[in-house]
Amino acid sequence: MIQKTIVFGKYPVVQADNEFAKQKGLHSILVMMPIKDFWELNEILKNLKFMILSDEIEMAVWADFAKKIMPYIVYEQDQTWFRKYAIQHGNV
């Protein structure tokens, strides 16, 4: 299992810890997942970042992102926050 922090700014990014998020006032969530799923998450995040920066968001990519991280969010308060975040982005 690998433990990482996902920081939510203009687009979600993976960080080793949440110090960057604290400094910038951004929300972050802690995930703990198998390495195989982590590499799949990185691929989804790469596609999501590209789509956000090119203003061509596909709901399928947001849905893939939500499905991939939801089971691995460590804290219940982060799960609640992420559900609200996902609803705002139309992928639930």
Whether residue 92 is predicted with pLDDT greater than 70 in this model: the reply is no
**Range 65-84 average pLDDT:** 92
The residue type found at 73 is I
* Half-sphere exposure of residue 48: CA atoms within 13 angstroms, side-chain side: 24
With cut-offs at 50, 70 and 90, classify the pLDDT of residue 62: confident
Tell me the residue type at 54. Answer: S
Query: For residue 82, what are the contacts with CB-CB under 8 A and spacing of at least 6?
Result: 29, 66, 69, 70, 73
pTM of the model: 0.82
- Phi then psi for 11, rounded to 5 degrees? -145, 155
The boundaries of the domain holding residue 24 are 2-88
Domain count for the chain, please give it.
1
pLDDT one-digit tens code per residue, 21-61: 777 888 889 999 999 999 999 999 998 888 888 877 677 78
